[in-house]
């Protein structure tokens, strides 16, 4: 072997060793990284991930978006999964992931935190746990603070001012509201027609929750129909003259579940993250965002109402999963995108 060939062989050997060493370091680094996909609020997800890193030394890669965007990302990565933990704003979405076999059950060795939570919010088979909840109602300016509104006030066109509703295509909580309201009625077609009557009476449907709420804040509308309460309470805490109403006939409670993906290779880190989310410290962060904490020993924020007194719509989870696509597609075409004649009335 010539000197040049020997040097080239040595160079290739050193390069190969360097690549292998680098990939080994990368694997070691990846083993100490937890990938979390979370629906908002972004500030809450960031704060809890930072606390987890400070306590454990484990770095967190965080992706935050709407529940719909999180679900779309999980589906796009189904054959090359990256996420270890998912946090959603919809129990229906979590149940769908469970039915598809994409979640791994977790049975904590120390069940202290479970005993302090609203256990009826969790999955009975421990594949997902509700970290918090929001309620869906009607938000108005304080002009209407002494009124008691019912859903039918909007379906029949009796609400006196202009109203807007978040789009179920953009908001997970709004899609849960539409699905729960329609499926809680025996006559699904009649319940869906109620939304069409509200549209003919002037109800606008546009954007996600924040966009609808901004329209209320600037005075373009007098009410947000199907408003998610924690965002309204956030604005009330800032001094905005708003009121949250919950109809006596029923409301939608939206648990916000956390789950471990079945594909994770870091189940020990994922389990510690779930435990961390239910610590008193994390649940106090939840309350500070005006969500209702899962822990019963952590009080809600001073400005919000407890929802324990509310009459929640009764919906069968299996029926909801089987009907979800059809109901929301019909809503999109028959209500949201429908061209309503001007001044047609109810």
Own/partner pairs for 45-48, CB < 8 Å, 24+ apart? 45/87, 47/285, 48/276, 48/277, 48/282, 48/285
- Do residues 223 and 140 lie in contact, with contact meaning Cβ atoms separated by under 8 Å? yes
* pLDDT for 2: 53
The domains of the chain, with CATH numbers, are 10-133+255-293 (3.40.190.10), 135-253+308-336 (3.40.190.10)
In this predicted structure, the answer to whether residue 27 has a pLDDT above a threshold of 50 is: no
Average pLDDT over residues 69-73: 92
Average pLDDT over residues 21-48: 75
In this predicted structure, the answer to whether residue 240 has a pLDDT above a threshold of 70 is: yes
Question: Exposure string (b/e) for 70-97, b if CB count within 10 Å is 16 or more?
Answer: bbeebeeeeeeeebbbbbbbbbbbbbbb
Rounded CA-CA distance 35/60 in Å is: 6
Q: Is 88 left (phi over 0), alpha (psi -120 to 50) or beta?
A: beta
- Do residues 127 and 105 lie in contact, with contact meaning Cβ atoms separated by under 8 Å? yes
The model's confidence at residue 291, banded by pLDDT at 50, 70 and 90, is: very high
| Predicted TM-score (pTM) of this structure | 0.84
Average pLDDT over residues 289-304: 93
Read off the pLDDT of residues 144-181 as tens digits, 9 standing for 90 and up: 888 889 999 998 888 888 999 999 888 888 889 999 99
In this predicted structure, the answer to whether residue 315 has a pLDDT above a threshold of 60 is: yes
Rounded CA-CA distance 149/137 in Å is: 10
Which of the pair, 306 or 120, is modelled with greater confidence? 120
* pLDDT for 109: 77
When mean pLDDT is compared across 23-27, 86-90, 297-301, the lowest value belongs to 23-27
Rounded CA-CA distance 72/85 in Å is: 15
Give Cβ neighbours of residue 120 (< 8 Å, ≥ 6 apart): none
Measured at the CA of 172, the angle between CA 171 and CA 176, to 5 degrees, comes to 120
Q: Which residue has the tokens 């909801």?
A: 320
* pLDDT for 108: 86
**Nearest alpha-carbon partner for 57 in 38, 34, 35:** 34
Average pLDDT over residues 82-105: 94
Four-point Cα dihedral 155, 157, 158, 164, nearest 10: 80
């Amino acid at each position: 072997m010539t000197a040049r060939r020997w040097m080239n062989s040595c160079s290739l050997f050193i390069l190969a060793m360097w690549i292998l060493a680098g990939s080994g370091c990368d694997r070691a680094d990846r083993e100490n990284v937890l990938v979390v996909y979370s629906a908002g609020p972004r500030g809450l997800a960031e704060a809890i991930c930072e606390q987890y890193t400070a306590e454990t030394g484990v770095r967190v890669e965080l992706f935050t978006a709407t529940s719909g965007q999180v679900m779309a990302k999980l589906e796009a990565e189904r054959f090359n999964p990256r996420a270890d933990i998912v946090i959603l704003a919809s129990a229906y979405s979590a149940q769908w992931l469970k039915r598809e076999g994409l979640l791994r059950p977790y049975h904590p060795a120390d069940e202290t935190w479970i005993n302090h939570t609203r256990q009826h919010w969790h999955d009975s088979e421990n594949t997902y746990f509700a970290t918090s909840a929001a309620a869906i109602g009607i938000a108005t300016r304080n002009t209407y603070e002494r009124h008691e509104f019912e859903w039918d006030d909007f379906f029949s066109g009796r609400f006196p001012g202009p109203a807007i509703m978040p789009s179920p295509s953009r908001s997970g909580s709004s899609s849960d509201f539409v699905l729960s309201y329609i499926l809680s009625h025996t006559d699904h077609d009649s319940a869906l027609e109620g939304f069409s009557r509200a549209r003919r009476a002037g109800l606008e449907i546009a954007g996600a929750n924040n966009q609808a709420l901004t329209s209320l804040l600037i005075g373009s509308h007098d009410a947000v129909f199907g408003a998610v309460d924690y965002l309204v309470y956030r604005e009330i805490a800032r001094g905005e003259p708003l009121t949250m109403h919950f109809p006596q006939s029923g409301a939608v409670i939206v648990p916000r579940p956390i789950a471990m993906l079945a594909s994770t290779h870091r189940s020990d880190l994922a389990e510690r993250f779930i435990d961390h989310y239910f610590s008193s410290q994390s649940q106090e962060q939840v309350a500070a965002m005006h969500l209702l904490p899962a822990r019963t020993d952590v009080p809600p924020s001073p400005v919000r109402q407890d929802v324990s007194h509310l009459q929640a719509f009764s919906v069968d989870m299996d029926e909801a999963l089987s009907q979800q696509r059809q109901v929301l597609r019909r809503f999109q075409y028959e209500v949201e995108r429908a061209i309503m004649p001007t001044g047609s009335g109810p």
